[in-house]
Amino acid sequence: MAEHYDLVIRGGTCVLPWGEARTDVGVHGGRIAALDAASGCSADETMDATGLHVLPGLIDPHVHLRDPGDPAVETIPTGTRAAVLGGLAAVFDMPNTTPSITGPERLAWKQDYVERVAWCDMGLYVGAAKTNIPALAELELGQGVCGVKVFAGSSTGDLLVEDDATLEAVMRSGRRRISYHSEDEYRLQARRPLFNSGDPYASHAVWRDVECAFLGTRRLMALARKTGRPAHILHVSTAEELDYLAGYRDVATVELLVNHLTQVAPEVYDQLGGFGVMNPPIRDRRHFEAAWAAVRDGTADTIGSDHAPHARAAKERPWPECAAGLTGVQTLVPIMLDHVNAGRLSLGRMVDLMCAGPARVYGAVGKGRLAVGYDADVTLVDLKRRRTIENGWIASPCGWTPFDGMQVTGWPAATIVRGRVVMRDDEVLGEPAGKLVQFRG
Ligand SMILES: [Zn+2]
């Protein structure tokens, strides 16, 4: 007897964990039910994926959706809408909102809110602060929590744990992998008086120099080895750290940002001014080349956007008063596909970095691969489609992207979350039905 599926995706080239295959994916009850759905099977809905590549639902493990915060900049509804338009099936959202997510009440509010308004699935970080260390062990096991986030160097918001004694106490508080913003706060503060308001935007990478990041990472690695607590170093931005972290794979995993793989200093500051300012900074070509080497040699585990929107007015201020952080959740997939087309990485490695990588690093259950029994999260991509990224396409209310005007080859054609088609041909479909991602405790 022929099988019946809720959805069959026909005729596409599937990127399976063991290689590419032309096969039909059958979906039942929100999960992948078959990777070889027979031609005679019936289905409520059939998607023709001829000419397209069928990827596991792509994940951006590093976004700041600013909710609660300023709805004129971003919210969870708008940011997850941007995510599905950009081909993402899940995002992991940072805790440095206003107020930040550091206690059980605010986490409970967010857990409930997400499942009412999000377009894609979400993981939630909880923030470490000097005042909530005793609560972290329980918070990190909360529903949908992808891990604890530590700002060891200051960025947007008021979360900061900069000294070794407090960092060690955070590491001894629980056992899941902790994600770090690694810049040495003391060096950042000591160097600040060397610069003046109105200095060139390129000063950002001089102030927050290589040693700020590298010193921060050396300190964290010493403490991670001492405590045995696994560490995920977010947005690694220097050749020095990448070389160093390759020697710490017993405790460390590594995130790269698409920006550090796409933009270089000083050109980015000449072209974009404050719209090129982020933390850690976009640096010169030597670090750009090192980031690509880390993609090729396996040092990098995940790639994120660090989507961190701000109002235009906040970005247009002179340096260093301009806000640090760039939008990116909607442009991550098109830009990575363009890099695939340019031969900088294979589609298989992109899937490793954006699906298997986040699932492995954070312990996401049922995500990250096309396999029977896994969530039917699928991103269909058209590798040949040429498009220009434009501010007008951006769904985030702040309305700008640092990649405005960039022509790319490769575009997301559809986003499917647990068997529901939520985006097809640049159109968002249905109602928000995102859920919290489940993580291994
Ligand atoms: Zn960030």
Q: Read off the pLDDT of residues 107-152 as tens digits, 9 standing for 90 and up.
A: 999 999 999 999 999 999 999 999 999 999 999 999 999 999 999 9
Q: Concatenate the DSSP letters of all residues of 378-397 into one string.
A: EEEEEEEEEEE--GGG--ST
CA of 430 to the centre of ligand 1 (A): 30
Task: Using pLDDT thresholds of 50, 70 and 90, give the confidence band for residue 37.
Answer: confident
> So what's the pLDDT on residue 158?
72
More confident residue, 41 or 51: 51
What's the whole-number average pLDDT of the chain? 97
Tell me the average pLDDT across 357-371: 98
In a domain, 349, yes or no: yes
Kind and range of the H or E element at 131? none
Taking the centre of ligand 1 as the mean of its atom positions, its distance from the CA of residue 305, in whole angstroms, is 8
CA of 178 to the centre of ligand 1 (A): 14
Same domain, 123 and 238: yes
Burial 388-418 (b: 16+ CB within 10 A, else e): ebeeebbbbbbebbbbbebebbbbbbbbbbb
Cα(46) to ligand 1 centroid in Å equals 38
Closest CA to 317 of 269, 270, 274, 268: 274
Residue 238 lies in a domain: yes
pLDDT digits (tens, 9 = 90+) for 277-286: 999 999 999 9
Q: Does some domain include residue 324?
A: yes
Mean pLDDT in residue range 152-176: 91
Q: What is the DSSP string of 288-343?
A: HHHHHHHHHHS---EEE--B----HHHHSSPTTTSPP-B--TTTHHHHHHHHHHTT
Looking at 307, 341, 362, which one is the last position of a domain?
Answer: 362
Q: Is residue 433 part of a domain?
A: no
Rounded to the nearest whole angstrom, what is the distance from the C-alpha of residue 64 to the centroid of ligand 1? Answer: 6
Query: Does residue 11 sit in the same domain as residue 156?
Result: no
DSSP letter at 228? T
Distance CA 266, CA 212 (A): 19
Closest CA to 398 of 122, 88, 58, 82: 82
Residue 1 has pLDDT above 60, yes or no: no
Question: Could you list the residue range(s) of the whole structural domain that residue 199 is in?
Answer: 58-362
Residue 42 within a domain: yes
The pTM for the full model equals 0.98
Rounded to the nearest angstrom, the distance between the alpha carbon of 267 and the centre of ligand 1 is: 22
pLDDT > 70 fraction of the chain, expressed in percent and rounded: 100
- Whether 67 and 163 map to the same domain: the answer is yes
Residue 221 CA to ligand 1 centre (angstroms): 20
Q: What's the confidence (pLDDT) of residue 441?
A: 81
Q: Residues with Cβ < 8 Å from 264, sequence gap 6 or more? A: 282, 283, 284, 285, 288
pLDDT at residue 314 above 90? yes
Span from the CA of 42 to the centroid of ligand 1 (angstroms): 45
Residues 284-304: pLDDT tens digits?
999 999 999 999 999 999 999
Give percent above pLDDT 90 in the chain: 96
- Spacing, Cα 128 to ligand 1 middle (Å): 14
Same domain, 23 and 100: no
How many Å lie between the centroid of ligand 1 and the Cα of residue 306? 5
How far are the Cα atoms of 26, 37, 92 from residue 5, in angstroms, in the given order?
6, 9, 30
- Do 277 and 424 fall into the same domain? no
In a domain, 43, yes or no: yes
pLDDT of residue 103: 97
Indicate whether 47 and 138 sit together in one domain: no
Asked if residue 432 has pLDDT above 90, the reply is: yes
Average pLDDT over residues 249-275: 98
Same domain, 119 and 34: no
Which CATH number goes with the domain that contains 413? 2.30.40.10
CA 96 to ligand 1 centroid distance, Å:
9
Domain co-membership, 212 together with 330:
yes
For residues 251-263, give the mean pLDDT: 98
Q: How many domains does the chain have?
A: 2
Section 226-253 average pLDDT:
98
Q: How confident is the model at residue 2 (pLDDT cuts 50, 70, 90)?
A: low
Contacts for 169 with CB less than 8 Å, ≥ 6 apart: 133
Question: How far apart are the CA of 225 and the centre of ligand 1, in A?
Answer: 24
Range in 37-41, 74-78, 168-172 the model is least confident about: 37-41
296 and 153 within one domain: yes
Q: Which residue has the higher pLDDT, 347 or 40?
A: 347
Is the same domain home to 274 and 336?
yes
Residue (of 118, 174, 125, 177) closest to 146 by Cα position: 125
Q: What is the mean pLDDT of residues 329-344?
A: 98
Cα-to-centroid distance, 63 and ligand 1 (Å): 6
CA of 110 to the centre of ligand 1 (A): 18
How close is the Cα of 389 to the center of ligand 1, in Å?
A: 22
Q: Is 307 contained in some domain?
A: yes
pLDDT in tens, 371-399: 999 999 999 999 999 999 999 999 999 99
Domain check: are 339 and 211 in the same one? yes
Q: What CATH number is given to the structural domain containing 111?
A: 3.20.20.140
In-domain check, residue 396 = no
d(CA 422, ligand 1 centre) in Å = 26
Are 27 and 167 in a shared domain?
A: no
